[in-house]
Amino acid sequence: SPMATLPSEASCPICLELFRDPVSIHCGHTFCRGCISRLWEWGTGQFPCPRCRETAPERSLRPSRELARLLDIARRLSRGDTALARRHREEEEEGEEEEGGCPKHQEPLELFCREDRALLCAICRESRAHRGHTLLPVPLALREFRDQLQARLQTLRDDRDKLLELREAEMSRNWEYLEKTGSERQRLLWEFQELRESLEDHSRRLLEQLRELEREGQKEQEENLTLLTQEISRLDSRVQELEQKRREPAGTFLRDIGGALSGFPEEKFQPPPSPLPELEKKIGDFREKNLVLEETLRSFRVQVTLDPSTAHPQLLVSPDGSSVTCTDPQDAPEEGPGPDPSVLGHPGVTSGHRCWDVEVSPEGSWALGVAGETLGDGAEPPESPGAQLWSLGRCQGHFWALTSLERVPLGHPRVSRRLRVALDYDRGQVTFFDAESRSRIFAFPEASFRGLRLRPWFLVWGEGARV
């Protein structure tokens, strides 16, 4: 249309439309009277040109009548081609970039206000709202804020990766925990198989406790994994938003950069504490209590009898082999099987679980446990240098854990007169319990019993000492 073919000189630099009542100012540039008057409305002392920035001490508006007449003719000619002009204008608008110009002044958006985080044109820069603010060229602002966004985006990615690693570790530990509970279940079933009919009620209760532990652990693990998954999903969404924001054109990117940055979470996500250490402790406590029950339920199967042939001359073994006492040391012969007043019992153990109860006297000193003898070579006296010994004893009111090589003081534990020796040959464990309270007194570290026959061993010393 005739209007579209007019050169850009026929348009006002402020409103970007054809001049309406055109006037020229002190530097010779032309503007709409209304546009330049509004721009200079709040001027004080200096009146700059919006295009060349040349200033004048006072307002000077000279009408451009010839230009006004030419534009009036062009407007009349264009009225007959309105539809074509509209289509042309729509095509131009579709081809424009999203940021366009200043929505108020239609000038190019060349500046960015750091304080207000807003895009400005040359005319906006002179407004009172942005006076004294830090103004950056758009390319510089674009680089600066994209760098900031990239740094925060990397932080979000790092946080997400750490949470992913944490989730994988939690899932791995959860599987280990479930495997432990599964192994414990199988062990329980094996332990109760031999006495299933008489112990069925005990089995149901213990399995229910174990299932409750498993459910408790599974529930807490699922809650923790849900929290981690939700946080990871939130960070994924945030990462996608920021990545999409980073790819936006300059104008759109900077126009809402404040909202994008303000939405960045300041507080770090605190991963929930893992419940597994506490649950593993509960399994350990459960297993310890279960061990006491297991040994108690099997105790009637082990009937220990003392072997008089292995007794020290100072010891007196009862005719039925169920007890031994210490006689007066003056009555003991000069020659004997060894310096320690000890005696071995039957049966010897080469595999499986065994336990037996021992009643001790409150007087004198005593010790009880197991002694090892080499298979195939006959009995080796437990007090000989090569013998192996695992025992618990009391001497002058003090308790000791005794081996062939060392003594470990145990202080003054409160124990009853009935003690239990529990031997797990296959696992290499010797444990001592208070048979009445079913509490553990001491357990030796796991050892290898391979090639040994373990026999009950007892030592008594002092007046009134008896087991």
306 and 437 within one domain: yes
pLDDT of residue 190: 62
308 and 250 within one domain: no
Give a yes or no: residue 291 inside a domain: yes
Give a yes or no: residue 76 inside a domain: yes
452 and 310 within one domain: yes
* Cα(76)–Cα(462) distance, integer angstroms: 134
The more confident residue out of 163 and 210 is 163
328 and 453 within one domain: yes
Q: What is the pLDDT confidence band of residue 18, given thresholds at 50, 70 and 90?
A: confident
* Cα(105)–Cα(123) distance, integer angstroms: 7
Say if CB 170 and CB 228 are below 8 A apart. yes
235 and 309 within one domain: no
pLDDT of residue 191: 61
Q: What's at 363, amino acid-wise?
A: E
Give a yes or no: residue 182 inside a domain: yes
- The label of the residue with tokens 């507080």 reads 267
Give a yes or no: residue 138 inside a domain: no
309 and 176 within one domain: no
Give a yes or no: residue 40 inside a domain: yes
Q: Which of 173-177, 230-234, 390-394 has the highest mean pLDDT?
A: 390-394
Average pLDDT of the segment spanning 290-294:
63
Give a yes or no: residue 148 inside a domain: no
- The label of the residue with tokens 């849900």 reads 226
452 and 326 within one domain: yes
342 and 249 within one domain: no
Domain that holds residue 374: 302-461
Question: Over the chain, what HEC string results?
Answer: CHHHHCCHHHECCCCCCECCCEEECCCCCEEEHHHHHHHCCCCCCCEECCCCCCEECCCCCEECHHHHHHHHHHHHHHHHHHHHHHHHHHHHHHHCCCCCECCCCCCECCEEECCCCEEECCCHHHCHHHCCCCEEEHHHHHHHHHHHHHHHHHHHHHHHHHHHHHHHHHHHHHHHHHHHHHHHHHHHHHHHHCCHHHHHHHHHHHHHHHHHHHHHHHHHHHHHHHHHHHHHHHHHHHHHHHHHHHCCCHHHHHHCHHHHHHCCCCCCCCCCCCCHHHHHHHHHHHHHHHHHHHHHHHHHHCCCEECHHHCCCCEEECCCCCCEEECCHHHCCCCCCCCCCEEEEECCECCCEEEEEEECCCCCEEEEEEEEEECCCCCCCCCCCCCEEEEEEEECCEEEEEECCCEEEEECCCCCCEEEEEEECCCCEEEEEECCCCEEEEECCCCCCCCEEEEEEEEEECCCCEC
Give a yes or no: residue 444 inside a domain: yes
Q: What is the pLDDT of residues 419-440, one digit of tens each?
A: 989 888 888 889 998 888 778 8
Q: Which of 215-219, 286-290, 333-337 has the lowest mean pLDDT?
A: 333-337
Domain boundary among 299, 315, 338: 299
Closest by CA position to 239, among listed 143, 163, 154: 154
The more confident residue out of 270 and 405 is 405
Mean pLDDT of the chain: 78
Q: What is the pLDDT confidence band of residue 188, given thresholds at 50, 70 and 90?
A: low
What is the domain-level CATH number for residue 44?
3.30.40.10
306 and 452 within one domain: yes
Query: Judging by beta carbons within 10 Å of its beta carbon (0-12, 13-18, 19+), is residue 337 exposed, middle or buried?
Result: middle
Domain boundary among 79, 96, 113: 96
pLDDT of residue 379: 45
Closest by CA position to 24, among listed 2, 4, 52: 52
- The label of the residue with tokens 């920021």 reads 242
Strand partners, 346: 305
Q: What is the pLDDT of residues 71-90, one digit of tens each?
A: 887 777 766 555 455 544 44
189 and 308 within one domain: no
Give a yes or no: residue 152 inside a domain: no
Q: Which of 157-166, 280-289, 335-344, 406-415 has the lowest mean pLDDT?
A: 335-344
Average pLDDT of the segment spanning 232-251:
84
172 and 92 within one domain: no
Say if CB 390 and CB 384 are below 8 A apart. no
The more confident residue out of 3 and 105 is 105
250 and 283 within one domain: yes
Q: What is the pLDDT of residues 351-372, one digit of tens each?
A: 877 888 899 988 888 999 999 8
The count of domains in the chain is 3
pLDDT of residue 95: 37
Q: What is the pLDDT of residues 438-466, one digit of tens each?
A: 788 888 988 888 888 899 999 998 877 88
The more confident residue out of 232 and 75 is 232
Q: What is the pLDDT of residues 114-136, one digit of tens each?
A: 888 889 988 888 888 887 888 88
Token reading at 76: 């009349």
What is the domain-level CATH number for residue 363?
2.60.120.920
Q: What is the pLDDT of residues 368-418, one digit of tens each?
A: 999 988 765 444 444 443 468 899 998 888 888 988 888 888 877 778 888
Q: Which of 113-117, 199-203, 313-317 has the lowest mean pLDDT?
A: 199-203
Say if CB 392 and CB 400 are below 8 A apart. yes
Is the per-residue pLDDT at 204 higher than 70?
A: no
Domain boundary among 96, 127, 148: 96
Q: What is the pLDDT confidence band of residue 203, given thresholds at 50, 70 and 90?
A: low
